[in-house]
């Protein structure tokens, strides 16, 4: 508690208008990190015997520039002073280990952004890590970010959607691992000697989410001839408004993983399951955010309707056609949402034009949420394999399985003498292929989706201009 009070006092003395990335030490730090990254192996170490590897003294010199830059920038961020001290110690420890597999547990434990969530507060973050949906290797990465924590969001978190670990964030600048599709900063991606007992924060970049949502939605709406209500059209055109929608969506989605009638491991991190189980979990969390947004709209919140259509459009337009088709569980959730709405006559594809019944969309979307919630509740009384088949039945009611699927043929087509985790091997990489509608839409959206790699609010505005 004392540490938090000290951090809060430090925060109050900071001008949020002074940008860390405008200090000359930031490009020095960024360039030095970019010099080191190509030397690193997948696990973050540097193999000095590998072809093209630098001399050890060269690596030490580059790391020295990183350390000097961190120490020069740290006074701009007194709330991160303890973290930066631990970071410098971990960097030196890495060099002393002859650049072996890095261990940044001490600095990870010292970094506590959720302890002081102040709107506009900056952080300089540097870790060896992989970037989810970005770079799979544990390279050194540097990112400067800002906290997104307006008072209206803080009030909702205090009174309604308790989520003390959640950090809404935006990019200021970053190294190459974030010049990708990654929109998260998660502690579990960082190279450490052992996982801490519990993680104390998780960050999601709402500016990247909002920017790519706007780009893909705008293109999809034009291709499909969809006529938007005035308020939704205005929302799609407004980056700041979309960021507010996404930070609220993310906060509710994130807490939903640990709320409801759940299995013991709702994140399913330690379980090997068919990918439709992951798809249903992510969709459950998104539809819970949608359901809460409907309630908020009914109570007069100006963000409620925005969240509803951020969820609908991102799930229906971007998710199904983004990434490859191998176990694409987010894509599957988007396909399921569209098919459910289509079969309940909320969306219609007629005369090469998409129409949405705007009045019925909230009710029917909440109906799908209720079906998934019932699946979870009933699953508490089912053996694992029976639950997996029940989930398969739910998905296959609305999406056609691959004609070669063994799972689609039912239990008699599988060797049930094997443990459930082995039966996952019988799941096809693309168990529920794209419909003809999405096959065509995928080709038309391919370019704009590719263009959103590395996007931020600033780059999106430059492109629009």
**Could you tell me the end-to-end alpha-carbon distance of the chain, in angstroms, rounded to an integer?**
47
Percent of the chain with pLDDT over 70: 94
341 pLDDT exceeds 60? yes
The SS3 assignment for 182 reads: coil
Q: How far is CA 437 from CA 180, 217, 220, 227, in A?
A: 28, 16, 13, 18
Task: Grade residue 8 by pLDDT with cuts at 50, 70 and 90.
Answer: very low
Token pair of 19 as six digits: 């940008």
Whether the CB-CB separation of 170 and 194 falls below 8 Å is answered with: no
- Alpha-carbon torsion (335, 340, 343, 346), positive or negative: negative
| pLDDT for the residue numbered 10 | 44
Summarize pLDDT for 88-108 with one digit per residue, the tens.
999 999 999 999 999 999 999
| pLDDT for the residue numbered 267 | 57
Total structural domains in the chain?
2
266 pLDDT exceeds 60? no
Whether the CB-CB separation of 252 and 288 falls below 8 Å is answered with: yes
**Looking at residue 178, what DSSP letter applies?**
G
* Element (DSSP H or E) covering residue 183: none
Closest CA relative to residue 89, chosen from 113, 56, 63, 112: 63
Whether the CB-CB separation of 324 and 194 falls below 8 Å is answered with: no
Q: For residues 320 and 12, what is the distance between their CA atoms, to the nearest angstrom? A: 44
Summarize pLDDT for 158-196 with one digit per residue, the tens.
999 999 999 999 999 999 999 999 999 999 999 999 999
| pLDDT for the residue numbered 2 | 32
335 pLDDT exceeds 80? yes
Q: For residues 343 and 452, what is the distance between their CA atoms, to the nearest angstrom? A: 31
122 pLDDT exceeds 60? yes
Looking at the fold, whether 99 and 132 belong to one and the same domain comes out as yes
Looking at the fold, whether 39 and 131 belong to one and the same domain comes out as yes
Q: In the listed set 200, 220, 236, which residue is the last one of a domain according to the structure?
A: 200
Give me the residue label for tokens 């430090």.
10
Closest CA relative to residue 199, chosen from 210, 209, 185, 211: 185
Looking at the fold, whether 410 and 287 belong to one and the same domain comes out as yes
| pLDDT for the residue numbered 160 | 97
> Helical H runs in 225-360?
230-236, 239-256, 275-298, 304-313, 329-343
- Of 193 and 264, more confident: 193
Q: How far is CA 11 from CA 167, 172, 398, in A?
A: 16, 18, 51
Pick from 214-228, 269-283, 343-357: least confident: 269-283
Looking at the fold, whether 372 and 418 belong to one and the same domain comes out as yes
Q: For residues 158 and 138, what is the distance between their CA atoms, to the nearest angstrom? A: 35
Q: What is the mean pLDDT of residues 447-456?
A: 97
Main-chain dihedrals φ then ψ at residue 148, nearest 5 degrees: -110, 105
Looking at the fold, whether 305 and 432 belong to one and the same domain comes out as yes
Summarize pLDDT for 68-85 with one digit per residue, the tens.
999 999 999 999 999 999
Q: In the listed set 184, 200, 216, which residue is the last one of a domain according to the structure?
A: 200
| pLDDT for the residue numbered 237 | 97
* Mean predicted lDDT score pLDDT of the chain: 94
Looking at the fold, whether 185 and 282 belong to one and the same domain comes out as no
Closest CA relative to residue 204, chosen from 141, 251, 157: 251
> Helical H runs in 97-178?
105-110, 151-159
Give me the residue label for tokens 């191998």.
326
| pLDDT for the residue numbered 5 | 33
Looking at the fold, whether 216 and 156 belong to one and the same domain comes out as no
Q: In the listed set 200, 216, 240, which residue is the last one of a domain according to the structure?
A: 200
Task: Grade residue 12 by pLDDT with cuts at 50, 70 and 90.
Answer: low
15 pLDDT exceeds 60? no
| pLDDT for the residue numbered 9 | 38
Looking at the fold, whether 31 and 94 belong to one and the same domain comes out as yes
Looking at the fold, whether 387 and 434 belong to one and the same domain comes out as yes
Looking at the fold, whether 154 and 282 belong to one and the same domain comes out as no
Q: What is the mean pLDDT of residues 25-32?
A: 98
Looking at the fold, whether 129 and 103 belong to one and the same domain comes out as yes
| pLDDT for the residue numbered 1 | 33
Neighbours of 370 (CB within 10 A): 12
Q: Tell me the longest C-alpha to C-alpha distance in the chain.
A: 68
17 pLDDT exceeds 90? no
Looking at the fold, whether 217 and 195 belong to one and the same domain comes out as no
| pLDDT for the residue numbered 3 | 35
Domain that holds residue 41: 2-200
């Amino acid at each position: 508690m004392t540490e938090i009070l000290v951090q809060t006092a430090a925060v109050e003395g900071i001008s949020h208008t002074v940008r860390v990335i405008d200090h000359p030490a930031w490009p020095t730090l960024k360039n030095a990190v970019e010099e080191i990254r190509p030397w690193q192996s997948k696990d973050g170490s540097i193999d000095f015997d590998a072809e093209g590897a630098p001399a050890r003294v060269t690596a030490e010199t580059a790391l020295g520039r990183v350390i000097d830059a961190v120490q020069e920038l740290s006074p701009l961020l007194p709330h991160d002073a303890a973290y930066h001290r631990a970071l410098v110690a971990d960097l030196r420890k890495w060099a002393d280990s002859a650049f072996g597999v890095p261990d940044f547990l001490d600095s990870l434990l010292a970094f506590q952004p959720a302890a002081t969530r102040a709107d506009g507060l900056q952080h300089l973050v540097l870790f060896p890590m992989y970037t989810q949906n970005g770079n799979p290797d544990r390279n050194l990465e540097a990112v400067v970010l800002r906290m997104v924590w307006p008072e209206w969001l803080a009030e909702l978190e205090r009174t309604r959607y308790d989520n003390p670990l959640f950090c809404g964030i935006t990019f200021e600048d970053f190294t190459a691992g974030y010049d990708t599709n990654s929109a998260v900063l998660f502690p579990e991606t960082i190279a450490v000697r052992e996982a801490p007992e519990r993680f104390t924060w998780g960050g999601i970049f709402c500016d990247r989410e909002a920017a790519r949502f706007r780009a893909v939605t705008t293109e999809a709406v034009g291709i499909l001839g969809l006529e938007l209500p005035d308020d939704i059209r205005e929302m799609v055109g407004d980056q700041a408004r979309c960021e507010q929608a996404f930070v609220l969506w993310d906060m509710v989605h994130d807490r939903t993983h640990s709320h409801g009638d759940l299995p013991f491991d709702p994140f399913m991190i330690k379980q090997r399951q068919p990918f439709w189980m992951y798809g249903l979990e992510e969709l459950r969390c998104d539809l819970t955010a949608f359901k809460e947004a409907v309630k908020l709209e009914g109570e007069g919140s100006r963000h409620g309707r925005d969240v509803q259509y951020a969820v609908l459009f991102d799930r229906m337009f971007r998710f199904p056609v983004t990434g490859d088709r191998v176990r694409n569980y987010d894509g599957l959730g988007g396909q399921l949402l569209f098919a459910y709405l289509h079969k309940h006559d909320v969306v219609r594809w007629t005369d090469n034009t998409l129409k949405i019944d705007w009045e019925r969309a909230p009710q029917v979307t909440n109906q799908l949420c209720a079906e998934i919630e019932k699946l979870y509740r009933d699953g508490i009384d089912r053996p694992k394999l029976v639950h997996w088949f029940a989930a398969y039945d739910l998905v296959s009611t609305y999406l056609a399985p691959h004609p070669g699927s063994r799972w689609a043929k039912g239990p008699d087509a599988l060797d049930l003498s094997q443990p459930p985790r082995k039966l996952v091997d019988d799941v096809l990489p693309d168990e529920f292929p794209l419909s003809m509608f999405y096959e065509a839409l995928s080709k038309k959206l391919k370019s704009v989706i590719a263009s959103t790699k590395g996007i931020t609010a600033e780059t999106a505005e430059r492109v629009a201009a």
